Structure formats: C-alpha cells, structure tokens
C-alpha cells in the first residue's frame, strides 16, 4: 500500500497552520501488528521525506514529530483508508 498519495499531500495542512484545540486528522497510519498509531495533523515535504506533526499512540500517547521515511522503515505500516475525525476522537 502506498502511504502517501497526491490526494493526501493536498489534504495535509502546512506546519504551524493549525490553531485549534481540536484539529482535523489528515491521515491515520498504523502498525497492524502492534498498538502503534500515528495521526497526522500537519506536515511539510522535505527533500526526500515528509515531516509530520501529529498525535502518536504507542508506549506513551503524545503530540510530536515523525517522518514518512521513519514509518516506511518499519516495513509494515498501513494507512487507514476510511478514517475521518479530529484529535478529540482519538484521545
């Protein structure tokens, strides 16, 4: 499965553009073999990567930065094709 598409690229707000206590989630990535989930709120394309800011559920649940290459290095990350929601829906 392709994690990034042109449609998703166009949907992700630029970094530092979301000023809401309950921002929309642009895309949800998850590891089907663990409890890790990444919810993208904002992002920006870099040279050979995407840098995202979002909510991460793993050992701890926190807001933070993560990269597309970092996710792809795991090798089994998937994109939720049907997820729609905002930050309060996932906390």
Residue 71 DSSP one-character state: H
Q: What is the mean pLDDT of each run of 10 residues along the chain (91 residues)?
A: 93 95 97 96 96 97 97 94 95 89
pTM equals 0.95
- 55: phi then psi, degrees, rounded to nearest 5: -100, 130
Contacts of 86 (CB under 8 A, 6+ apart): 22, 23, 24, 25
For residue 75, what pLDDT is reported?
A: 85
For residue 30, what pLDDT is reported?
A: 98
For residue 63, what pLDDT is reported?
A: 96
For residue 86, what pLDDT is reported?
A: 96
């Amino acid at each position: 499965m392709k994690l990034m598409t042109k449609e998703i690229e166009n949907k992700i707000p630029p970094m530092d553009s979301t000023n809401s206590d309950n921002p929309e989630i642009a895309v949800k990535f998850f590891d089907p073999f663990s409890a890790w989930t990444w919810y993208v709120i904002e992002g920006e394309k870099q040279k050979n990567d995407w840098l995202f800011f979002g909510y991460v559920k793993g050992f701890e649940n926190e807001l933070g930065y993560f990269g597309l290459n970092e996710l792809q290095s795991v090798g089994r990350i998937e994109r939720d094709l049907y997820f729609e929601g905002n930050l309060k829906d996932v906390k």
